[in-house]
Amino acid sequence: MSFSENLYYLRKRDKITQEELADRLGVTRQSVSKWETGEASPETDKLILICDLFGVSLDDIVRKDLTAEPKQIVPAEAPARECGQEFIAKTNKFSIWIALGVFLILFGVSVCVLLGAISELLVDTASDLTAIMGGVAVVLFVAVAVFLFIFSGMEYDRFRKEHPVMPKVYDDAECKAFGKKFAIAIACLSSAILLDVVFLIVFTSLIDVGTIATVNENAAQCFVVAAFLCVLAFIVGGYVYFGIQHTKYNIEEYNKLGGAKSEEDAEHRAKRKKFCDAICGTIMLAATGIYLLMGFVWNLWHPGWVIFPVGGILCAIVNTIAGIKK
């Protein structure tokens, strides 16, 4: 029994088409067809991926007659199901830790601004101490976030290397349900960030013109900015969480990343990068135009600066979503 016959048998056993197998291995359908007809043989790395995918050993698929010993073959469903559950757990944990790290960085800045506002209301010694505490708070929050990024990133990367090919985890109905949930979440988060910006602009403007009476104008402005950043931390964390969760439902792209990249894949990624760069450039140009319009027409130079960090966040969101689809 040759490798080509074993491959054909395993593919039929698991009801996988040549297109599906090629997609999971990151090769063309013609390559799989040639393997099954004996016209060509896969490279070692692809051979290992095939063994992992069908739950057989390298020695069995190359030397044994798998069709004559079906009882000795480890059922593909059991390891596939176990691997799929581990993939779900790893992705859930990774999405939570990364989203939490992003949240902590922005929240740390919010705490720093809040302590800065409090320092404006205190006497000299207490004011200096509070300002120092704000700087320390930022460093601590960033330190925790960096730890989460490094630890969770290394754990997830190790899992990807150990499981470069993943069986389909969710059925089509579950994927469609999440797709609807994902669209609603992104729409709500996008609306929330716009409302947050409106909140910042309105309240800082009201404080500037004296509509809102304050004992210390600088402190009041800082309180508003701190509230803005706190809400923004939740919003951006939500973007990151749902973005990473999306990978659980896009197994085809996960498997393409696990295999060797073809020239076609590389070209596709290059085109995607150019498209993302064009979108980000447009966003920042629009942000500049809005800032100048707010400044010259309404004299809102001070609150208008927030347009630029918002533009940067939108660019990060674009690149995150593009990264999901790689």
Q: Tell me: pLDDT of 63 over 60.
A: yes
In a domain, 48, yes or no: yes
The domain of 44 spans: 3-75
Ranges 22-31, 100-109, 247-256, 297-306, most confident: 100-109
Asked whether residue 115 falls in the same domain as residue 232, the answer is: yes
Q: Are residues 106 and 217 located together in one domain of the fold?
A: yes
Per-residue CA distances from 183 to 12, 88, 191, 235, 240 (Å): 36, 20, 12, 15, 14
DSSP state of 262: P
Domain C-terminal end among 45, 75, 105: 75
Q: Does position 324 have pLDDT exceeding 50, yes or no?
A: no
pLDDT of residue 144: 92
Q: pLDDT higher for 79 or 206? A: 206
CB neighbours of 2 closer than 8 A, spacing ≥ 6?
38
Token pair recorded at residue 22 = 């090629």
Domain check: are 179 and 141 in the same one? yes
**Calpha distance 205→306 (Å, rounded):** 13
Nearest to 227 by CA among 189, 198, 206, 185: 198
What residues have CB less than 8 Å from 150, skipping those under 6 apart? none
Same structural domain, 304 and 219:
no
Q: Is the pLDDT of residue 303 over 60?
A: no
Burial level of 173, CB count in 10 A (0-12/13-18/19+)? exposed
pLDDT of 38 over the 90 cut: no
Nearest to 118 by CA among 107, 104, 132: 132
What's the confidence (pLDDT) of residue 95? 92
Q: Are residues 220 and 292 in the same domain?
A: no
Amino acid in position 124: D
pLDDT band of residue 103 (cuts 50, 70, 90) is: very high
Tokens 């599906």 locate to: 20
Q: Is residue 108 one of the residues assigned to a domain?
A: yes
Residues 61, 35 within the same domain: yes
Q: Is residue 227 part of a domain?
A: yes
Cβ neighbours around 25 below 10 Å, total: 25
Residues 88 and 129 in one domain: yes
Comparing 130-144, 236-250, 286-300, the range with the smallest average pLDDT is 286-300
Summarize the confidence of residues 277-304 as an average pLDDT: 65
| Same domain? 95 vs 34 | no
pLDDT grade, residue 316 (50/70/90)? Answer: low
- Report the C-alpha gap between 118 and 224 in whole angstroms: 12
pLDDT surpasses 60 at 58: yes
**Average pLDDT, rounded, for the chain:** 77
Residue in the block written with tokens 């706190």? 230
Q: Above pLDDT 90, what percent of the chain?
A: 9
In a domain, 221, yes or no: yes
The tokens for 181 are: 């949930």
The two tokens of residue 28 are 């063309």
The number of folded domains in the chain is: 3
Q: Which residues contact 300 (CB under 8 A, 6 or more apart)?
A: 201, 205, 294
Cα torsion angle, 193, 195, 199, 205, sign? positive
| Amino acid identity, position 127 | S
Q: Which of 245, 268, 302 is the last residue of a domain?
A: 245
Assess whether 95 and 205 both reside in one domain.
Answer: yes
252 domain-assigned? no
Indicate whether 288 and 205 sit together in one domain.
no
pLDDT at site 263: 45
pLDDT score recorded for residue 23: 77
> Domain holding 41: CATH number?
1.10.260.40
Residue type for 160, please?
R
Q: Looking at the chain, list the stretches that DSSP marks H as alpha helix, in order from N- to C-terminal side.
A: 3-13, 18-25, 29-37, 44-54, 58-63, 77-120, 124-162, 172-209, 217-245, 251-258, 263-298, 301-304, 307-324
| Same domain for 49 and 13 | yes
Q: Would 251 be classed as within a structural domain?
A: no
Within this chain, do residues 186 and 274 fall inside the same structural domain, yes or no? Answer: no
What is the structure's pLDDT at 210? 78
Tens-digit pLDDT profile for residues 211-255: 777 778 888 888 888 898 899 899 989 988 998 888 888 877 677
pLDDT tier, 261 (very low <50, low <70, confident <90, very high otherwise): very low
Residue 20 falls inside a structural domain: yes
Domain boundary among 14, 44, 75: 75
**171 pLDDT more than 80:** no
Tokens of 287: 């942000």
Does residue 125 sit within a domain?
yes
* pLDDT of res. 185: 92
